[in-house]
Amino acid sequence: MVTTTAIPLIIHGKDVLLSNNDRKHPISSTSAPHLKSFQGATPDLAIQAVESCASAFPTWSQTPPEERRRLLLNFAKLLREKSSTIQTLIKDEIHCTPLWSHVNVETAAGIVEETASVITDAMSGTIPSSQGNSYALVMKKPLGVVLGIAPWNAPVILGLRSVIPVIAAGNVAIFKGSELSPQTHYFLAALFREAGFPPGVVNFVLHRPQDAAEIYECMIQHPAVKKCNFTGSTQVGRVIASKAAMALKPVLLELGGKNPVVVLEDADLDQAADEIVTAGYLNNGQICMSTDLVYVVRSVAEELTKKILERLHSEDRPHKVISTASRARLTQLVDDARSKGAVIHQARNPLAEDPQAFPATVIEEVTEEMEFYTIESFGPVFGIIAVDSAEKGLQMVKRSAYGLSSAVFTRDHFKALGMSAEIAVGAVHVNGGTVHDEPTLPHGGVGDSGYGRFGGKWGLDEFLQTQTVILNRVRASL
């Protein structure tokens, strides 16, 4: 735990705080009232973090996979042992439920363990056939320094996902934490020290919001940084990608989604309603995979809507979003929909007087003219659209610029597979909610939802490069 009044950076295994108040950013912590701020990086500190990583890379990249696996499993063990402390930090910073804090730690531990288990296989090369009297060897090699930019909304899962596959593959990582979850991200970064990772393998950087462009640019332009991964909004992702492109650096982007559900006439409507409500409101709807739009065949639309509203009003839903700005944005989306003919249903919210509270909301009779139809809500809101047929719903889904997660509810699995083949999306969940991920599976999107994949062996492949070596025979001397 942090004992100073400010959360430090971690560079080459040591906590870093500037002696003055330069770049300090205020925070408010109920779990650690002594904490008043976090240390934001200066360009010099950001470059120090990069160069520390670069100095650690030659040794770490040659560390046997078995040793990297041992350290990762040690980290996972510590993560589980300290679960209670970590969950307290998460709930303090992002106002989530105990369920979401528990899911964060358990899923993250699973990600670390699964990544450790696939290191050797992911690093394996091949010996394809070659011409004449030569042999071709295709080997996999780590890249070098990788910048991982993590969001706040699933701070343990997404924080560790930004660095675990990176270091498992033999790279070194800059863990750029979120200003909205600095305690949680610092705790995770410090855990790498406790687990026995050498200094410089994972360095930890924070920055003030107003310094984001400056700090990112000085790191992505540094010759030692070879790749960046970013999880966050599509708007920011475009900036991340464009700045990286100017430096000829590749990126992995997992961005926003307008995650659709299509409900067919033969669906189990109770199952569909349960999954839609859960995926729409988990973590206050602040998940990249949260359900946003439900396309339901008209013949069962009334019944499904009734079941959804029963669940909406069956319990108090104390939803509190991350900021007053987020609440204002959600209010604007709902007000715009109402002004254009939508029917708004909202649950009772015991936190109604809180400036960050926003009630669980269902928008009925959504149309394409409404802002909500195309803008990711990222809050406890989803809309319902009645369509004449499954084909019509599918056509509307296919017009979306996003492509992260989706769901289809039907008893006809072959029809669901056929629909899945037509949707340009990273994942299709048949008779399941849009919020679903597993450590063994690839995760990512297409279109405005980004490109590249986290997860399992696919996640390690993102941070490896191939090298071809051709072995030719020495010509016999005359």
pLDDT of residue 475: 80
Q: What pTM was computed for the model? A: 0.95
pLDDT of residue 478: 63
Of 207, 170, 3, 179, whose CA–CA distance to 93 is shortest? 179
Of 158, 166, 25, whose CA–CA distance to 103 is shortest? 158
> CA torsion, points 314, 316, 321, 326, in degrees to nearest 10?
70
pLDDT of residue 213: 97
Q: Is the pLDDT of residue 232 over 90?
A: yes
pLDDT of residue 2: 67
**Nearest-angstrom CA–CA distance, 282 and 65:** 37
pLDDT of residue 129: 77
Residue range 371-409, pLDDT digits in tens:
999 999 999 999 999 999 999 999 999 999 999 999 999
pLDDT of residue 82: 98
CATH match for 260-430 among 3.40.50.970, 3.40.309.10, 1.10.230.10, 3.30.56.10: 3.40.309.10
By the 8 A CB rule, do 261 and 293 touch? yes
Question: Which residue ranges does the chain devote to CATH 3.40.309.10?
Answer: 260-430
pLDDT of residue 353: 83
CATH match for 6-255+445-467 among 3.20.20.10, 3.40.50.2000, 3.40.605.10, 3.30.230.10: 3.40.605.10
Q: How is the chain split among helix, strand and coil, in percent rounded to 5?
A: 45, 20, 35
254 is catalytic: yes
Residue range 405-436, pLDDT digits in tens:
999 999 999 999 999 999 999 999 999 999 99
Q: What are the backbone dihedrals phi and psi of residue 475, each rounded to the nearest 5 degrees, phi first?
A: -65, 135
**Nearest-angstrom CA–CA distance, 117 and 476:** 45
Residue range 5-41, pLDDT digits in tens:
899 999 999 999 998 888 999 998 777 778 889 999 9
Q: Is the pLDDT of residue 362 over 80?
A: yes
Question: Which residue ranges does the chain devote to CATH 3.40.605.10?
Answer: 6-255+445-467
- Of 93, 113, 114, 254, the catalytic one is 254
Mean pLDDT of 164-184: 98
